[in-house]
Structure 1
């Protein structure tokens, strides 16, 4: 049983612009040497986002309610943290919860895919603000970063302009997976000399255009995107060849396993923010069967990636986020499904700046409302950035104006920060 769809076709349409961006990204070369790996471990902070698209059920993951009216058929199992229980669909994750923490008191006050996704990414209910991944890329990406600041590995999805008013170099670039796009190589008819002359002409035109009509910011943004894509196109071998058999055996030979292997490689080779989307959690029908399948795929694969980050020493400097746009309704509908539910649900996170083994917030006995420490996307946004050492109460400095980085009306979840 393969679930790879959601509510609306538009949620899964990859635009031409998104495809071109993905193609540009897919040229990263491997820089994984011991010296570079050690330097990354010691200096660079990173973000790994694992996005469970469609809305994973908190009752089948982080906040099970077995034996209650809406609890469903699955048991709660103990974890490596005394007193902490999660759903039996996550047996591998359960043994690693001493590396992670759970936030169980999230209330977004929306059941919309669109609104929930934006709130969880921007930390604001409305407006055009940069995603947390773009903000992290802006403030964490080194000047000489070998890779773009925000890489998103996904088989499909919306075209998100994640950088908003920030420079284009901080916007996400999408990868369709570990394969090399066929149009990545410079055409044989274009010699290196002609390519160099073209780049030189582009720089001259950009310089001339940037001095007219106050358009410098536009020129800089588009030029930055071009230069980053050009660098990647010259270093395509990171995507060439099959992953090692032993890695595929550990991670899984399905697309999510291969995508997580790519995410590991990107983080090892200088990636600042890497996002991997696992699709198919919009379970309006057959919720239990689909969660059995989806979380069965997610559980071991994610844990292999987590193990590798820990073994390499990178976990302590990598913020790990496992999140969705909302959860699922406690009430089970007539199709044995759970519907959209932003009222009382959960996420997990760990790594850089996060106290491990904690449970923040709670829901009532049947999971129908938050009973303790209610938070929303604004609080989480502040928490992510503070964990990374970014002052979320500061301001983005733009051309002649400033914009608060985080929502000034919200605060971080202080008890979650290490």
Structure 2
């Protein structure tokens, strides 16, 4: 099943790389107005930021601690800015802003698998072939004057594995995520010096004429989709500075943390400021099958400081009211602590968090039993969360896509939004 879901992603990723490479040569003298790129766009539309805790963070060491129990582990629970609500002592800075967060402690995906869990988390379904959240939001929140890609995924270098499962599916290449690795701009954004403007213009005219002829008597949507990708490449060439975090102040680099996650979140803020609809940042190494408590001390220290800094900045810039922030892994960790001091995969009872537009701040929804082995009240499925994300962004999740005359539900009809979470 994993290989089936990767086929489309690999094919489209190759196509986009090819288009970016071609665009660098043939779009050097593009005629798109420089006015559009004179200054960063102040986003008025809704935006989405997904902070993905790859591998599955432990709910016991983050949002749903069980101190003093046989499953609880060694860490204390500390008070938060929500009276009566406690979280792990590994998140001391986050505890001070809990009144700004929306916590769900009762996720039951029942999928203890990285590949399947990540796809189901992002698509709201277990059946393959549907768009992931970033692609869906890029499509559904698209505005006529959008020139930058609607979905950008930021990660460090390394095996793609389950973090890249899923893609735009039937929405087409236009809504496929552009991947940023190690804070480097996409390849081929600078035109070769050997490319002459007159050749560029000629090639561009030939391309457009060829596209028009090729469309005759054929399904034009795939052609238009790749044409849009070509134009997006041109837009990125004109605005490649949006990927350059060296332009951020030294104090901002320090505040966000000089580690991968901190610098990636600094880039994410920059991209959101520039008008990108959806940005995903992956924070790796939460899959602690051994030495769970050691690894969570390291990961939580990075996450805690960076999250608070990021939310503070989005709030101060007036962006948080229009940006939904989703914080989640693809699963939780087992209540049982194994003989290597680790926690294994667990899909039956775990936690996730939201902040920003469209959700009620300062609430904790659902609960688990004393040992954290099962959901006690208000069980939540991944499909319910997918509906909720869309509704929080002002999207009617009960509607259908209509692609080439074929309709597909935007979200799983068997699931529903969680109204108590929506503002």
Q: TM-score, normalised by structure 1?
A: 0.90
Say which SS state the counterpart of residue 58 (structure 1) adopts. Answer: coil
Shift, 1:402, TM fit: 0.9
Aligned partners of 1:182, 1:220: CA distance in 2, in Å?
23
**Residue 280 of structure 2 corresponds to which residue in structure 1?**
275
Change (3 A) 1:241 1:251: closer
Say which SS state the counterpart of residue 50 (structure 2) adopts. Answer: strand
1:169 aligns with 2:169: no
Q: Tell me the alpha carbon deviations over residues 206-264 of structure 1, each in whole angstroms, 9 at most, x when there is no partner.
A: 1111224x331221222211221122123212234623111011011112111111100
**Residue 303 of structure 1 corresponds to which residue in structure 2?**
308
Provide structure 2 residue ranges, at least 5 long, that are not aligned to the other structure: 1-5, 25-33
Aligned partners of 1:379, 1:321: CA distance in 2, in Å?
14
Which aligned pairs between 1:396-407 and structure 2 lie closer than 5 A? Answer: 396-407=401-412
Aligned partners of 2:257, 2:245: CA distance in 1, in Å?
17
1:71 aligns with 2:72: yes
Contact kept, 8 Å, 1:32 with 1:269, in 2: the verdict is no
Which aligned pairs between 1:229-244 and structure 2 lie closer than 5 A? Answer: 229-240=233-244, 242=246, 243-244=248-249
Contact kept, 8 Å, 1:79 with 1:85, in 2: the verdict is yes
Aligned partners of 2:89, 2:384: CA distance in 1, in Å?
29
1:394 aligns with 2:399: yes
Change (3 A) 1:241 1:100: closer
Change (3 A) 1:108 1:377: same
Aligned partners of 1:89, 1:412: CA distance in 2, in Å?
31
Say which SS state the counterpart of residue 311 (structure 2) adopts. Answer: helix
Aligned partners of 1:22, 1:260: CA distance in 2, in Å?
24
Q: Tell me the alpha carbon deviations over residues 16-53 of structure 1, each in whole angstroms, 9 at most, x when there is no partner.
A: 9748857949x9x996958x43xx2xx31100110000
Aligned partners of 1:226, 1:94: CA distance in 2, in Å?
45
Aligned partners of 1:413, 1:181: CA distance in 2, in Å?
37
**Residue 62 of structure 2 corresponds to which residue in structure 1?**
61
Say which SS state the counterpart of residue 238 (structure 1) adopts. Answer: helix
Shift, 1:91, TM fit: 0.9
1:254 aligns with 2:253: no
Contact kept, 8 Å, 1:393 with 1:406, in 2: the verdict is yes
Q: Tell me the alpha carbon deviations over residues 102-150 of structure 1, each in whole angstroms, 9 at most, x when there is no partner.
A: 1111111111111111111111111311112211111212211242101
Greater CA drift, 316-325 or 132-141:
132-141
Aligned-residue Cα RMSD (Å) equals: 2.4
**Residue 220 of structure 1 corresponds to which residue in structure 2?**
224
Change (3 A) 1:260 1:21: farther
Aligned partners of 2:180, 2:393: CA distance in 1, in Å?
24
Q: Tell me the alpha carbon deviations over residues 156-204 of structure 1, each in whole angstroms, 9 at most, x when there is no partner.
A: 4344442111132212111114334564311111112212222222211
Contact kept, 8 Å, 2:367 with 2:375, in 1: the verdict is yes
Contact kept, 8 Å, 1:22 with 1:175, in 2: the verdict is no
Change (3 A) 1:95 1:258: same
1:373 aligns with 2:378: yes
Aligned partners of 2:381, 2:373: CA distance in 1, in Å?
16
**Residue 109 of structure 1 corresponds to which residue in structure 2?**
110
Greater CA drift, 189-198 or 265-274:
189-198
Aligned partners of 1:380, 1:387: CA distance in 2, in Å?
10
Equivalences, count:
399
**Residue 6 of structure 1 corresponds to which residue in structure 2?**
none
Which aligned pairs between 1:48-197 and structure 2 lie closer than 5 A? Answer: 48-156=49-157, 157-158=160-161, 159-180=164-185, 183-197=188-202
Say which SS state the counterpart of residue 165 (structure 1) adopts. Answer: helix
